[in-house]
C-alpha cells in the first residue's frame, strides 16, 4: 500500500490499541519503499514495537524500542508523507520513553499508548 495509506492505517491501529499490527503495516511498507526511505519506516515499526512492549508490561523493552525508533525517525530527512512530521513524532516518543523510565508504566494513560503519528494535515 502507498506510504500515506500505510501511515493512516497504522495510526488507526494504534488508536485501536493494536500496536503490533501497526508494526506489521510499517514492516510491509519498509520492504516496499526505495532503500533511502527504509530507515523512516523501520523507525516507525520500532516505535510500534515499543508501544507493544509497554502494553505487555515490559518497561525496559518499551524504553529501548521507543528510543531507537525515535532516533531513526527524528534523524530522517528524506521524503515522507506530508501528514508526518518526523521531528514531532520522535520528540513524542522520546518523551514517552523518558516518562516510562522516570515514573513507570503504571502512570501511562490510554492516549499515551496511542502515540500520534499524523501530526499535520495536507
Q: Report which DSSP code applies to 82.
A: T
The C-alpha atoms of residue 39 and residue 45 are separated, in whole angstroms, by 10
**Nearest alpha carbon to residue 78 among 3, 19, 5, 14:** 3
CB 113 within 8 A of CB 19: yes
Q: Alpha-carbon dihedral of residues 33, 21, 57, 66, nearest 10 degrees? A: 20
Q: What is the pLDDT along the chain (122 residues), one digit of tens a residue?
A: 899 999 999 999 999 999 999 999 999 999 999 999 999 999 999 999 999 999 999 999 999 999 999 999 999 988 889 999 999 999 999 999 999 999 999 999 999 998 999 876 54
Domains and CATH numbers, the chain: 3-114 (1.10.3450)
pTM here?
Answer: 0.94
Q: DSSP code of 75?
A: T
Cα 60 to chain centroid, rounded: 17
Amino acid at each position: 500500500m502507498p506510504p500515506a495509506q500505510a501511515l493512516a492505517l497504522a495510526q488507526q491501529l494504534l488508536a485501536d490499541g493494536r500496536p503490533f499490527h501497526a508494526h506489521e503495516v510499517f514492516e510491509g511498507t519498509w520492504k516496499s519503499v526505495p532503500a533511502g526511505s527504509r530507515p523512516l519506516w523501520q523507525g516507525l515499526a520500532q516505535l510500534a514495537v515499543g508501544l507493544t512492549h509497554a502494553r505487555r508490561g515490559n518497561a525496559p523493552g518499551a524504553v529501548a524500542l521507543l528510543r531507537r525508533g525515535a532516533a531513526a525517525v527524528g534523524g530522517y530527512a528524506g521524503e515522507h508523507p506530508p501528514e508526518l512530521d518526523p521531528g514531532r513524532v520522535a520528540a513524542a516518543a522520546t518523551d514517552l520513553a523518558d516518562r516510562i523510565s522516570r515514573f513507570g508504566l503504571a502512570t501511562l494513560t490510554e492516549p499515551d499508548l496511542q502515540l500520534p503519528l499524523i501530526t499535520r494535515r495536507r
